[in-house]
Amino acid sequence: MLFFTQCFGAVLDLIHLRFQHYKAKRVFSAAGQLVCVVNPTHSLKYAPTRCAAAQASTEQGLLPPCHHHEAVHDPQLVPCTCPLFSCPWEGHLEVVVSHLRQTHRINILQGAEIVFLATDMHLPAPTDWIIMHSCLGHQFLLVLRKQEKYEGHPQFFATMMLIGTPSQANNFTYRLELNRNQRRLKWEATPRSVLECIDSVISDGDCLVLNTSLAQLFSDNGSLAIGIAITTSKVHSAEAEM
């Protein structure tokens, strides 16, 4: 009976996932966009990332203790961004993509425009939805995080990070779009580099920010569809033509 119950639950989960994917494809297939259903990564015990801890120490006027026997940290190492608050891995930019795909099984979609369908928006904070987007010869990381910036008031923060340097990130512009029930909301900005701290991006509000009521307006049965489009920056395109 236990084996039957577990198998039956797995089958129901699979049917539910396929149904959500079918609904998303039905809505967005007319626009020729690829749809990726993204399940949440939920953390029951929040542990800040190294960059978040360093930022908190700096704001409080505290410096981390210096021990002569400790090795000097390489500033070019990138901490893992999946999940954002539990994986201790770090490495160079060249191996970030392989780590995300092999260790965390992060899906990657290719194309100029894709649809990011985040499921189970009702889960308590902190929760992350993450996907990689391969476009224009580069890999981007879309991070949607549900977090309580103020106690008792969870918000959703969505941002695009380039798996590259800040100078490379300045060459692109990304657009996030929510469209449902005759309502449309767009956010357009320059992506940030994964060398920067995503916690500071969220704390500064330099991303798409949704409160719970606004997220519910654009959600469908607990799922939120976000259209993603990446283009080259007009300034750099003009410079290239000159």
Q: First CA to last CA across the chain, in angstroms?
A: 71
**Structural domain containing residue 149:** 27-43+79-232
**Total structural domains in the chain?**
1
- Specify if 3 maps to a domain: no
Query: What pLDDT sits at residue 108?
Result: 87
pLDDT tens for each residue of the chain, 242 residues long: 555 455 555 554 545 445 544 554 444 443 445 788 888 886 544 445 445 444 444 344 433 433 333 344 466 688 887 765 578 888 888 899 999 888 888 888 888 789 999 999 999 988 999 999 999 999 999 999 999 987 888 999 999 999 999 999 999 999 999 999 889 999 999 999 988 888 888 888 899 999 999 999 999 999 999 999 999 986 554 444 44
Domain membership of residue 8 (yes or no) is no
Distance separating alpha carbons of residues 136 and 159, to the nearest angstrom: 18
What is the per-residue pLDDT across 80-131, written as a single tens digit (0 to 9) for each?
Answer: 877 655 788 888 888 999 998 888 888 888 887 899 999 999 999 889 999 9
Compute CA 72 distance to the chain's CA centroid, rounded to the nearest angstrom: 29
Q: Are 169 and 162 in contact (CB under 8 A)?
A: yes
> From start to end of 1-50, where are the E strands?
34-38, 41-42
- Is residue 137 situated within a structural domain? yes
Measure Cα distances from 184 to 80, 207, 215 in Å: 33, 17, 12
In this structure, is residue 56 part of a structural domain? no
Paired with 153 in beta bridges are 150
Owner of token pair 């409160």: 211
Q: Is residue 15 assigned to a domain?
A: no
**Is position 172 within any domain?**
yes
Query: CA angle, corner 160, sides to 154 and 161, nearest 5?
Result: 115
CB-based burial of residue 128 (10 Å sphere; 0-12 exposed, 13-18 middle, 19+ buried)? buried
Question: Does residue 6 form part of some domain?
Answer: no
CATH number at 36 reads 2.60.210.10
Domain assignment of residue 154, yes or no: yes
Contact 34, 24 (CB under 8 A): no
